[in-house]
Amino acid sequence: NPIEMGMPNLDATIGRIQAIPGYQPYFEAAFGKDAITMDNAAKAIAAYERTLITPNSAYDRYVKGDKKAMTEQQIRGMETFAKTGCTACHSGPAFNGSTNMPAGQGFLMKFPVFAGSPYETQYKLTEDPGRYTVTQKEEDKYLWRVQTLRNLTYTAPYFHNGSVKSLNEAVRVMAKTQLNKDLNDAEIQDIVAFLRALDGPFPQQIMPRLPPTPGGLLTEN
């Protein structure tokens, strides 16, 4: 996205990286000669992202056999989560849907599914048409990639427009707009407790010192 990234296109992005001498030996060590390409940059980023896993949550320990890893409320929440129908979208190891999608294509779902709830206007849920903005296909209106629920408690505010501040309210809105169900406060609190069981410890990482960037690159148009 040229607006989000501040770069006009991929060629300009790779050109910027190629112009930083300090990156050359790193890329060559990993990929060989003439290594700074978009494909290799994507592989390098993907390799780093694969280290950002948090596999030791209370839920992970619970499903591996430690029945004391989750509280009674979290177990109730897990059961309510499944009974309500949340797993129709939020399934799989990352709770973000099917893992059988073609490479590069996320699991997409319409949001909201059930139109007409007061939450649409309250939280401006339909002002952004979702994937339609990219494809201009009518069938892609309001399609969004299903996000992981792991470490969800760290990522407020919620939804594509950041309109909902609390996790409790996000659960309430999702139940109504996606499943047409009205959850009571106790059910919501139980589900939120379960979602907290999906939080895992982050790996300790020492951030590397970036190669110095030639001054001229910072002033280019």
Residue 106: pLDDT over 80: no
DSSP string, 78-125: HHHHHHHTGGGTS-TTTTSS-S-SPTT---EEESSSSTT-HHHHHTTT
Whether 22 and 65 map to the same domain: the answer is no
Share of the chain above pLDDT 70, in %: 95
Q: 195-213: per-residue pLDDT in tens?
A: 999 999 988 888 888 888 8
Whether 121 and 67 map to the same domain: the answer is yes
Whether 64 and 115 map to the same domain: the answer is yes
Signed CA dihedral, 181, 185, 186, 189: sign only: positive
The distance of Cα 208 from the centroid of its chain, to the nearest Å, equals 24
* 202 within some domain: no
Whether 191 and 84 map to the same domain: the answer is yes
Whether 21 and 71 map to the same domain: the answer is no
The domain tally of the chain equals 2
* 218 within some domain: no
User: Mean pLDDT lowest for which of 47-51, 153-157, 178-182?
Assistant: 47-51
Tell me the average pLDDT of the chain: 92
First vs last C-alpha separation in the chain: 17
Beta bridge partners of 133: none
Q: 43-73: per-residue pLDDT in tens?
A: 999 999 888 889 999 999 999 999 999 999 9
* 24 within some domain: yes
Predicted confidence at residue 166, as pLDDT, reads 98
Whether 146 and 181 map to the same domain: the answer is yes
| pTM exceeding 0.75 | yes
Give dist(CA 192, CA 99) in Å, integer.
24
Whether 46 and 71 map to the same domain: the answer is no
Angle at 155 between CA 97 and CA 206, to 5 degrees: 100
What residue numbers bound the domain in which 94 lies? 58-196
Angle at 109 between CA 8 and CA 145, to 5 degrees: 35
Residue 101: pLDDT over 70: no
Residue 216 pLDDT level (bands cut at 50, 70, 90): low
* 212 within some domain: no
* 110 within some domain: yes
